[in-house]
Amino acid sequence: AFQYGYIETRIQMPAGGRNWPAFWMLGENITQVAWPQSGEIDIAEQGGNTPSRNSGALHYSTNGIANSCCGNHTYDVGAYVGPNYSADYHTYGMAWTPNRIELYVDGLKFVTWTSSTIRSQFWSFNQPFFVILNNAMGGFGGNWTGWTQSQMKIDYVRAWKVDGYGEVVKR
C-alpha cells in the first residue's frame, strides 16, 4: 500500500481498439467498507481507440455508508490529449498530500482534486491505497481493430515523499 507522496510509472500503452490500460489504486480498506466507500484513484487510463487521450478519475461515495455499493457512487474525470501513448514510453504520476490529488502525464499536471472540490462531502483519500496496473479488454476501448497481440510495457514504478509526505506500507 502507498499513502501520500508522489508515485510514477513509465509505460508504453498497448495499441488497438478494445484495450483499456490503466494505472490505478483502490483504498486498502476495501474489504472492510467496500467500493465506492474505499475510494478509487485512476491515475492513467486510455482507450485503445483513442491512443492520444490520457484520462484520470476519482471515484467516491456520495452517502458515506460502508458496504452500500453502487447507487451511492460518483466520479470526477480529467483528461489530457497528447501524443500517441502507444508509440513510445511515457510517464504517468500522482502527487498526493492530505486532502489533495494532482495527476500528471509526462511531467504536465492535467487535473487537481481536493476534498472541497469534489461533489461529495465524503473524501476517502486520506488513507493507504494499493496500486494496480492492468490492461482490461472490452467496450471501453472501442471496437476491435484487428490486432493479434496486445502488450502494456511497464518500465518502472517509483514512489517518493513530497513536502515530507509519503510512505510505502508493506503488509
Q: Which residue has the cell 504517468?
A: 92
Show the cell assigned to 4.
501520500
Nearest CA-CA partner of 20 in 112, 102, 106, 143: 143
Residue 45 bears catalytic tag: yes
- Alpha carbons within 13 angstroms on the beta-carbon side of residue 29 total 14
Cross-strand pairs, 93: 8, 104
Written as nine digits, the cell of 33 is 467498507
Q: Which one of 8, 28, 45, 102 is the catalytic residue? A: 45
Among 8, 40, 102, 167, the one annotated catalytic: 40
Q: How many CB atoms lie within 10 A of CB 28?
A: 18
Residue 146, C-beta contacts closer than 8 angstroms, at least 6 positions apart: 16
Q: What whole-number distance in Å separates Cα of residue 86 and Cα of residue 171?
A: 34
40 is catalytic: yes
The alpha carbon torsion through 169, 105, 27, 36 (nearest 10 deg) reads 180
Enumerate the active-site residues. 40, 45
